[in-house]
Amino acid sequence: MTVDFDGEERTMQQMGKYLQVNDREVRESAYRAVGERRFQDSEEIDELFDKMVGLPPSDWR
């Protein structure tokens, strides 16, 4: 999953550093970009999680 931020496509891991900078405007922009991206895929993520939770532990290997 990637986010378009500051003119570049970045991974969620790369966005983590922007959530910790001292500039409040940058932090807020990064937070909103990540939130909007997660919201776009929220149904797919929920379905995947539901499938994973329904599996017995032996099927996780």
Report the alpha-carbon distance of residue 14 to residue 11 in Å, rounded. Answer: 5
| 32-36-38-43 Cα dihedral, nearest 10 degrees | 150
Question: pTM of the entire structure?
Answer: 0.71
Report the alpha-carbon distance of residue 11 to residue 35 in Å, rounded. Answer: 13
Angle value at C-alpha 33, between 30 and 40, nearest 5 degrees: 155
End-to-end CA distance of the chain: 24
**Tens digit of pLDDT for each residue in 20-61?**
999 999 999 999 999 999 999 888 888 888 888 876 666 555
